Chain A
């Protein structure tokens, strides 16, 4: 059981961004991807989730043996893929409660209705865990949310939808240290042998709280280094420049 990305090439408007990226995330593991701005981190998550702007020109993505590239965005989601957005969209007029409810309802067989009582019970439990105020349920999706609220909201949805594989795109950005801890606790509580995580981050800081099994460095659309969490510390200390130098030497 794994999310397997093989030799993935993807382009936007004809410009290649991912250039032969390969990565395997077995269920039960947390992988972190680090890399400088513009290396293709966010592109990777969008391509795997199926964003229309990107064209996959080569390679494959499979999730527990299923070819993800043949599935629509929503089919990938219902198959168990979750993307925690770096910049989640606002949906004016739609309350958080109705939004999450619609997402859960979409996972039920036709004709079956979500049980409202157990839904709210579950929702409030998860909100409490993330320190989210009850009034949150009647706010409109991401509208007027602070950076921290948006990220907590993404994690809340992840906890509610219980996906098999979670892609987390810079979930640490915009969080103060207390919020970061709460979010990390939420993620850690979801770690299980049945679930894989790909945590995309620019900074090592998040990895102090969500301890990765593997760390990969993305540069120019490829994984250039893989290692343990020690690699993250090395990057933090030396910056990404040393990588560039290494790459230039190698090139």
Chain B
């Protein structure tokens, strides 16, 4: 497109083209668990991955939990009933082991990554990359200095096998299998994802990053991430998602658990751009111990249905939790997002800022939960939800649930709904911007203060994604 609203310094940065995600290579999977889900599927996955016995048992128990839990359609959208669990393939892998050097990555996978621009990004500023191609990490590279410092950055299989003593105590503790139907599903069939441990006092300067892609039709991706920041350490983790477009629905159901020990700071950033047939049902939660901070910065673009409510359990005194989210729902998409802030200690502070954009028939829902029990003192929450409607067909709903007991707390809730008005568009167009460019400028303005929270190259990517979405949404 000819119109550009990017800042001076960002022109040289990466260009992300959504059409880049719209391709796939012939599948050649060595390991394929077949369609549908049964105890045999679980055993197949365990056998291929050579899981420990306790993992196998955990998976089987989780499968039972998944089967026993009803679909949450009493509060969530009926569209969930359109997921056909019997035609989904729960495990696919070409059997390649994660490789450390770029040269060892198979050519077609490499080409996929190159089209997505990953190597450039790594060169640009990333300290380590764990890119996921279908189930297994095909390429992982943690810079030597980080390894020397004792940072562990591996996939879930390796994490549970090689570093059981570190990860097992927290695995499934922040988000138990039975938390909800989809966390149970993930626990039953998880593969891939990142397991990270940052040792005491280490402040990781550069963000760690993982790219996730879904490359096989009807293939559910169930990555599992667990990040532990030990006392006084700091980490920023970036997660970006693109998926090729397929005719039939694809399921993505991840579980991400974060643990910030005393005085640690952990920031988890997601820019998600799923194709519009993906069901994206993700459970994300962090625990912040004394004086620790967990921040979720979450941007949801694309997918048919996204349900995601990142949460923070503030378990120690003076712990802080934050969720900053941007959701863009275009026609045919439903972004059902929000935040859960569970205050479980005195003087804990939480902040939620949510901005949603609904375009055409797109639908955005905000669900927030803030819980402050009576026996606590000096807790604070600030919640801000702003919705932008691009035309009259758009729909936005806000369901804030704030449970505050006791009178020694401060909470604040603000919500607004605004529109890209006809007068604003007329003004922008009179200055020579096309309708699409005018919309994307207005939308970028709406999310501007949040976009600043993203690292620069992500904010560029984000603006670019918004431009592409807005471009596609007008004739």
Which residues of A come within 8 Å of B, CB atoms? 49-53, 72-74, 76-78, 82-83, 85, 88-94, 98-99, 101-103, 105-111, 113-114, 116, 140-141, 157, 161
- State the Cβ distance, A7 to closest chain B Cβ, in Å: 24
A113 to B430 Cα, complex, angstroms:
21
Say whether B8 contacts A94, CB under 8 Å: no
Would B5 and A49 count as touching, CB distance under 8 A? no
Q: Is the interface of B mostly helix, strand, loop or mixed?
A: helix
Question: A-side binding surface: helix, strand, loop or mixed?
Answer: mixed
Q: Which residues in B have their C-beta under 8 angstroms from that of A51?
A: 426
Complex interface: chain B residues within 8 A of A90 (CB): 424
Q: Are B431 and A157 in contact (CB under 8 A)?
A: yes
Query: Which residues of chain A are within 8 angstroms of B116 by Cβ–Cβ distance?
Result: none
Q: Are B424 and A77 in contact (CB under 8 A)?
A: no
Residue pair B2, A106 in contact (C-beta under 8 Å) = yes
Interface residues of B (CB under 8 A from A): 1-5, 7-8, 11, 421-424, 426-435, 437-438, 441-442, 444-449
Considering the complex, give the chain B residue whose CB is closest to the CB of A108: B2
Within 8 Å CB of B431, what residues of A? 77, 99, 102-103, 106, 157, 161
B169 CB to nearest A CB, Å: 44
Q: Complex formed: what's the CA distance from A89 to B433 in Å?
A: 15
Given A89-B427, A102-B5, A116-B8, A94 and B433 contact (CB-CB distance below 8 Å): no
Q: Assess the A78–B441 pair: CB atoms within 8 A.
A: no
Whether A74 contacts B435 in the complex (CB less than 8 A), given A89-B424, A94-B444, A94-B445, comes out as: yes
Is A92 a contact partner of B2 (Cβ separation < 8 A)?
no
Q: Which residues of the other chain, B, contact A93 by a CB distance below 8 angstroms? A: 444-449
Q: Which residues of A contact B3 (CB under 8 A)?
A: 102, 105-106
CA of A93 to CA of B451, assembled, Å: 11
Contact of A52 among B422, B428, B448 (CB under 8 A): B422
Chain B residues closer than 8 Å to A73, beta-carbon distance: 426, 429-430
Whether B441 contacts A85 by the Cβ 8 Å rule is no
**Residues of chain B lying within 8 A (CB to CB) of residue A110:** 1-2
Which 4 residue pairs spanning A and B have beta carbons closest together?
A93-B445, A93-B448, A94-B445, A89-B427
Q: Which residue of B lies closest to A107 (CB)?
A: B432
For residue A78, which residues in chain B have a CB less than 8 angstroms away from its CB?
A: 432
Smallest CB-CB separation from A79: which chain B residue?
B432
Complex Cα spacing A106 to B447, Å:
22
CB pair A103 B427 closer than 8 Å = no
Query: What residues of chain A lie closer than 8 Å to B5, measured between beta carbons?
Result: 94, 98, 101-102, 105
With A and B bound together, what is the CA distance between A53 and B425 in angstroms? 13
Q: Given A77-B432, A113-B11, are A91 and B447 also a contact pair (CB < 8 Å)?
A: no
Whether the Cβ atoms of B447 and A52 lie closer than 8 Å is no
Question: Which among A74, A89, A91, A107 is the interface contact of B441 at CB below 8 angstroms?
Answer: A91
Residue from the list B2, B442, B446, B447 in contact with A105, Cβ < 8 A: B2
**Could you tell me the distance in whole angstroms from the C-beta of B421 to the nearest C-beta in chain A?**
7
